[in-house]
Amino acid sequence: MPRLLPLLLSTFRCTCVRALNKGEEKGGRKFYELRTVLPLLLLTFSPLLCAQQLPPVFSQTENDQAHRSPMVKTYLTPTRIVWQSDDSGEFIQNPGLLLKKSNGQVAVNDPKLLRLISTKEHKPGILLDFGKELHGGVKISMGIKPGKEPVKVRVRFGESAMEAMSDIGGEQNATNEHSLRDFVIEVPWLGSIEVGETGFRFVRIDLVDPDVNMPLYAVQAAFIYRDLDYLGSFESSDQRLNDIWLTGAYTVHLNMQDYLWDGIKRDRLVWVGDLHPEIMTVASVFGNNEVVPRSLDLARDQHPLPQWMNTISSYSMWWLIIHQQWYQNYGDLAYLKEQESYMIALLDQLETFIDENNSETLNGGRFLDWPTSPDPKAVHAGLQSMMILTFDAGSDMMRTLGKPMRQKKYAEVAVRLRKHIPEGNTTKQAGAMMALAGLADAKEVNRDILKKDGVQNMSTFYGYYMLEAMANAGDHAGAMDVIRQYWGGMLDLGATTFWEDFDINDSRNATPIDALVPTGKDDIHGDFGEFCYVGYRHSFCHGWASGPTAWLSQHVLGITLVDGGDAVRITPHLGDLDYAKGTYPTKHGLIRVTHFKTTSGKVESLVELPEGIKRVDLK
Provide the pLDDT for residue 364.
Answer: 82
**What percent of the chain has a predicted confidence (pLDDT) above 90?**
88
- Strand partners of residue 260: 256
Phi, psi of 332 (to 5 degrees): -85, 90
Q: Are strands 191-207 and 510-511 parallel, antiparallel or unpaired?
A: unpaired
Q: Which residues contact 527 (CB under 8 A, 6 or more apart)?
A: 172, 506, 510, 535
Provide the pLDDT for residue 45.
Answer: 44
Burial of 142 (0-12, 13-18, 19+ CB in 10 A): buried
* 3-state secondary structure labels for all residues of 76-116: ECCCEEEEECCCCCCCEECHHHHHCCCCCCCCCCCCCCEEE
For residues 164 and 205, the answer to whether their CB atoms sit within 8 Å is: no
Provide the pLDDT for residue 619.
Answer: 56
Between the alpha carbon of residue 40 and those of residues 35, 48, 536, 571, 611, the distances in Å are 10, 14, 51, 35, 18
Q: Which residue has the higher pLDDT, 171 or 127?
A: 127
Q: Report residue 262 CA to chain centroid gap.
A: 7
Residue 20 pLDDT > 50: no
Write out pLDDT tens, residues 546-564. Answer: 999 999 999 999 999 999 9
Q: Which amino acid is at 77?
A: T
Domain residue ranges in the chain: 4-68, 73-225, 228-284+456-619, 303-440
Q: Which amino acid is at 29?
A: R
Residue 516 pLDDT > 50: yes
Sort residue 234 into left (φ over 0), alpha (ψ -120 to 50) or beta: beta
Provide the pLDDT for residue 171.
Answer: 87
Mean pLDDT (whole number) for 162-172: 94
For residues 27 and 19, the answer to whether their CB atoms sit within 8 Å is: yes
Residue 176 pLDDT > 80: yes
Residue 468 pLDDT > 60: yes
Give strand ranges (E) for 159-288. Answer: 182-187, 191-207, 213-225, 233-236
* 3-state secondary structure labels for all residues of 434-459: HHHHCCCCHHHHHHHHHCCCCCCCCC
Provide the pLDDT for residue 174.
Answer: 97
Least confident of 11-20, 104-113, 526-535: 11-20
Instruction: State the DSSP string of 501-513.
Output: ---GGGGTTEEPT
Q: How far apart are the first and last CA of the chain?
A: 55
Q: How confident is the model at residue 169 (pLDDT cuts 50, 70, 90)?
A: confident
Peptide bond into 374 cis (omega under 30): no
Residue 48 pLDDT > 80: no
Provide the pLDDT for residue 519.
Answer: 97
Q: How far apart are alpha carbons 339 and 326 in whole angstroms?
A: 13
Write out pLDDT tens, residues 102-147. Answer: 998 998 888 789 999 999 999 999 999 999 999 999 999 999 998 9
Write out pLDDT tens, residues 190-222. Answer: 999 999 999 999 999 999 999 999 999 999 999
Least confident of 44-53, 247-256, 319-328, 442-451: 44-53
Provide the pLDDT for residue 23.
Answer: 46
Q: Are strands 510-511 and 522-523 parallel, antiparallel or unpaired?
A: parallel
Nearest alpha-carbon partner for 327 in 565, 618, 551: 565
Answer CATH for 73-225 from 1.20.120.160, 2.60.120.260, 1.10.150.120, 1.10.3720.10:
2.60.120.260
C-beta atoms surrounding 404 within 10 Å: 10
Provide the pLDDT for residue 109.
Answer: 85
Provide the pLDDT for residue 104.
Answer: 86
Provide the pLDDT for residue 51.
Answer: 52
Nearest alpha-carbon partner for 200 in 63, 76, 43, 64: 76
Q: Are strands 589-597 and 579-586 parallel, antiparallel or unpaired?
A: antiparallel
Provide the pLDDT for residue 325.
Answer: 98
Write out pLDDT tens, residues 248-292. Answer: 999 999 999 999 999 999 999 999 999 999 999 999 999 999 999
Mean pLDDT (whole number) for 44-55: 58
